Structure formats: C-alpha cells, structure tokens
Amino acid sequence: MNYQRLDPDKKDILIVDDLADNLRVLSSLLTREGYKVRKALNWQMALIACQTVLPDLILLDIMMPEIDGYEVCKRFKSWDLTADIPVIFISALDDVFDKVKAFKIGGVDYITKPFEVQEVLARVQNQLALRAAQQEILNLNIELEQRVKQRTGELEKTLQKLQSEIISRQQLQKKLLDIALHDSLTGLPNRALFIRRLEKALNHAKQEYNYQFAVLFLDCDRFKVINDSLGHLVGDELLIAIAHRLQTCLISGQTLARLGGDEFAILLENITNINLAIQVAERILQQLTLTFKLTRYEVFMNASIGISWGNKDYDRPEYLLRDADTAMYRAKALGRARYHVFDPAMYQEALQLLDLENDLRRAVERQEFLVYYQPIISLSTGRISGFEALLRWQHPSRGLVSPTEFISVAEETGLINTINIWVLQSACHQLRVLQRHSLISQSLTISVNLSARLFLQPNLVAQIDQIINETKINAANLELEITESVIMENINTVSSILQQLRQRQIKLVMDDFGTGYSSLSYLHNFPLNALKIDKSFVKRMQENQNNMGLVPAMISIADSMGMATIAEGVETQEQLVQLRSLNCNFAQGYLFSQPLEPKLALEMLTTTPQW
C-alpha cells in the first residue's frame, strides 16, 4: 500500500465524527481555507482513509457510539504510520470531556462545538505548522545523520591512511635505528647500542642497591696476521664465526656487541659476584681454543679479555668500558689468551701512559734522544767486531730512560718511525766516525734494531739507501736486527723488503730468537745472516749445567742453515766459556761492557781489549 500524499502542497485533514452535520460544517470551513478534507463517520472509515493516504492532521470527535474518540486516538497512536499525526479533539460544550485523559493518550489540542471559525482555523494552522516544523527537523536530522555518516566514512578512511602511514614510518624509523645501532658485518649491537645498555645498567645500579653488573672487553690476539696473510674476506668470515662462538658462551639477557675491528664487548647484567664474570671469560677462552673451520681455511684465534666490575660510582658508561679496555691491555701484556680484572691502580698507570705519550711527542720535537753503543765480541778473535746501537731517552726530569719503557708506546703512536730512522742515521754516522780512526778495523759493524712498524712504510728501503749514501758507509758493515714479529705481522711485504736489503749486502739478524712465535718454518723462507739468542736462554744456560738448556739446539739450527749466532746478555765468565765450547760466533753483554755513549765506545775500541 502506498501512503504517499496525493497533493503535496495541499494539507490533508481527516475529520472523524459520527454526526454528518458536524462533518459538513467543519469540512466546508476548512476546504474554503484551501485544505484537502476527508471525512469519516467512525473508526472503520477513518482507518480506511488513513490506509489510502496519510493525513497531516486528524480532527477527532470524542463522543461516538461503539468506539469513542479516546479509543480511536489510542489506536492511531499505537500504529506506527499514524502515531505522529497530530490529533485535535472535538467536543461539545456539554460533553463530559476529560482533557487530561485526552492529552495523556496523545491528543495535541481540542476545539469545542459550536465551532468558533477563527479558533478552529488558528488551532488547525498551529498544529499543521508545528507538524511541518517537526517534519523539517526530522528531515534535517536525517540529512545531518547522512552527512555525518558520509563524513565519518571519509574521516575513517583518512584516519586509516594516516595510521598506515604512521606504521610504515615507524617501521622505517625502526629499521634506520636498527642500522644505526647494529654492526653490519655480524648483526650484533654496535658500540652506540652497547653504551646505551651500559648506561641503563648503570642507572639501575644507582637506584637499586643490590643490582650489580660487569663488562667484558675482548680483543682478538694477532687478528691482523689473519687479515694480512689471508685477506680481508677471510678476516670478515672469521669475525662472524667469532661472534657466533661468543654468543654460544652467553645466555639470553647478556649483551654481546662488536665495538669495531676485532674488538667485542659483553655486558653481564644482574649478576651477584665477579666470579660469574670470570666464569664467562674462562668459558670464552676455552671455546676459542677450538679451531675455526672457515670456507677455505682452518684457523686458530684466541683473545685477551679485560673485565670491569660495574659500580654505581661510575659517572659515565664509557668509563666502565675504558677500564675493561685497560684491563684487556694488561691481559695482552701478560701474554695474551687470558683475562684480567680491572683494578683502579691500572687507571693510574693508563694515565701515566698518556703522559708518556705526550712526553714522547715533545721528546721527538726537542730531540731528547741519544744512541748508546754496546760492543759485540767475536768469540773466535776475542775482540770487538761491532756495536749494537741502543736508543736512550734523555728525559728532562727522569734522566736517562730505557727503551723498554717507551718503545711500545712509540710503536703504538707511530712515533717509532721518526725515532727509529733517526737512530739509523746516528748509528751510520757514528760508524763513519769510528772508521775514520786509523786504528780501527774497516770491517767493524754497526747493528740497528728495526721496529715492525717500519716495514709498513712503503719507502723503507729508499730511506735506508739514502742514509747509506749520505753517511758514505759500506752497506756490508750495516746489520739490521729484526724480531720475529716483523715477519709475522707483515708477512706479505716483508719478504721482498728483506730481499732488497740483502741485495745491498746489508746483514739481517733475527733478534730475541726463541722468545716470539717459536716457529722455525719461517727461518727457511727469509734471507737471514744470523740468529741472536735471547738473553733469557743465555741466563738459563747456567741453571742447566748439564745440557745448557736450548742454547746448543739453537746454535745447531743456525749452523745447519748457514747462519751465524750471537749470544745476548752474557754476564759471566762461565757463560762465555760455555758459549765458546758450543762454537757460538759472537757475544754481547755486561761481561764485556754496558751500552756506552759514543765517546766511550770509541775509547774502548782504541784500547783494543781482548777476551
């Protein structure tokens, strides 16, 4: 059924009254005013009228037989379609009209018979206007709701877009942060992230009395040898393998980071005592004794570990790492492949080391270095065959400082290059001075120690050539002392440099033989003229009267390879006798002379002593 109104402009009024007269009067009155009026004599007719077209207003008589106005009104109000149609009651003046009841069941107004024309019209118009206004509001509400719905939909879409953009930005940011805080080779946290975690642990310790933690600083021993000899790709592969191996020594919640190069750090949080940190260090050292099986090589790689014990008194996380680093250096100095626990005295030493570094720089500028000369005795003639040039530092406040106290620092800082070349120059110059002396043999040699660092300089040979030219010495009188580390740390380049030196008749001496890598295999591959037996073996020779320790074996090895032997640190007559009996070629030590300043070295030579 269609309840659309027929003429939308004409308001439709339904009059329900059992009296035909009433109907007529009202109908003509309203029709005149331009309303469309329909009439019903009872409920049934009224219902049919509404089912055909919904009226805009109902005028309803109260007094009707069978179903009275109240009941009809109730029925209209209970039916959805008609519930909103305003109902105006019609009552005769003498009717018993219950207004309260009329309003209660939904009537909006009433008119009384006989009809007062103006009043009826006013009340009808009023109700129609009210209803129109209500409908307008309803329509506006619907429209508003639709707009809100549409706008909400748009907003929701925009919101979704924004949210997904935020998420993708967050993901990107997280990725960037990840990159910034991780090491690209191993995927481990890097120094920045490690410091953050360390800072957190430190703050935790400052707040919670019982909270304790430790830092391990790990540096691979001689990693450079792998890089130099097998190449960086193998070095990288090894670093990844080391990272994995270290991870297996840790449990979750313990942070392993790569600080750079071959350095790693570990943060052990919430541990109850230092022994737990030591146990971790021991486990790592144990694990590192197993070989690393790389794609093409099997290699060994051990490490030195420094441990610092976290404590709330540290101002900055970096200081904790620094102390673990200092302890690690101590572990290296004590022989590598071990751990060392930091103690505050070490910090003082580290500071002194820094002082030393600064002093050393100044010393280079102010030329505070001297060269002393220690005679080397030929055991066949018993006479001085040459001198070893030994560096001394004339420190403005500390006096004469031994090279053992500053050579390693000079090497670390790179100052050794300048210093060592200067020693070579002075020594060659000194040789020239000595050789001018008529009493002195032209075969007198001068030995100069060369640091491993020098072999990294691309122009080492050219520099040596230049010094030989300038000082006009015979290259055959020059001996260069190198240690095993020169070979091990520069395996790629050193062979060709040594060959070039040999072509110039310069003699090459392996210094401190037996104290380093103790690998005999390299001896064959390098053009060495002599082995210098370290003073520690000479010293032990006396302790082992029967077999004289390793010295006989060393001499025979040198012999078999056509090399001469020089014994270092000879202090007693007995040692001299023993060395002679073993056919050692040369000797050097306090028995003959301390290292001397140049003037005294010349004096000694000219007195031609003999042993």
x-or-dash string of contact with ligand C2E, 429-468, rule CB under 6 A = --------------------xxx-----------------
Shortest Å, Cβ 389 to Mg ion: 9
Per partner kind, with CB cut-offs from 5 to 8 A, the member of Mg ion, ligand C2E, none near residue 403 is ligand C2E
Contact call for residue 484 and Mg ion (CB under 5 A): no
Tokens of 518: 């103790």
Contact call for residue 303 and ligand C2E (CB under 6 A): no
If the CB atoms of residues 255 and 588 are measured against ligand C2E, the closer one turns out to be 588
Among 373, 511, 541, 596, binds ligand C2E (CB under 6 A): 511
From 205-213, 421-429, 552-560, 562-570, span contacting Mg ion (CB under 5 A): 562-570
Among 44, 247, 291, 402, binds ligand C2E (CB under 6 A): 402
Tokens of 373: 């000369």
By CB under 6 A, the count of residues binding ligand C2E is: 23
Q: Rounded to an integer, what distance in angstroms lies between the CA atom of residue 482 and that of residue 218? A: 29
| Contact by Cβ (8 Å): 220, 302 | yes
Q: Rounded to an integer, what distance in angstroms lies between the CA atom of residue 5 and that of residue 467? A: 121
| Closest to 570 measured CA to CA, from 602, 603, 536, 598 | 536
Contact call for residue 377 and ligand C2E (CB under 6 A): no
Mention every residue, 6+ apart, whose C-beta is less than 8 A from residue 67: 42, 43
Contact call for residue 300 and ligand C2E (CB under 6 A): no
Among 449, 565, 575, 593, binds Mg ion (CB under 5 A): 449
Mention every residue, 6+ apart, whose C-beta is less than 8 A from residue 278: 307, 339, 341
Contact call for residue 489 and ligand C2E (CB under 6 A): no
Q: What are phi and psi of 111, to 5 degrees?
A: -125, 155
Per partner kind, with CB cut-offs from 5 to 8 A, the member of Mg ion, ligand C2E, none near residue 118 is none
Strand-strand pairing, 384-395 and 445-449? parallel
> H or E segment at 346?
helix 344-366
Q: How many CB atoms lie within 10 A of CB 360?
A: 21
> H or E segment at 261?
none
One-character DSSP codes across 447-501 = EEE--GGGGGSTTHHHHHHHHHHHHT--GGGEEEEE-HHHHHHTHHHHHHHHHHH
If the CB atoms of residues 303 and 416 are measured against ligand C2E, the closer one turns out to be 416
Contact call for residue 479 and Mg ion (CB under 5 A): no
Shortest Å, Cβ 543 to Mg ion: 19
Q: Rounded to an integer, what distance in angstroms lies between the CA atom of residue 610 and that of residue 34? A: 154
Burial of 159 (0-12, 13-18, 19+ CB in 10 A): exposed
If the CB atoms of residues 22 and 451 are measured against Mg ion, the closer one turns out to be 451
From 158-166, 451-459, 564-572, 576-584, span contacting Mg ion (CB under 5 A): 564-572
By CB under 5 A, the count of residues binding Mg ion is: 5
Chain contacts with ligand C2E (rule: CB under 6 A): 374, 390-391, 402-404, 407, 420, 423, 449-451, 481, 511-512, 535, 568-571, 589-590, 595
Chain contacts with Mg ion (rule: CB under 5 A): 449, 481, 511-512, 568
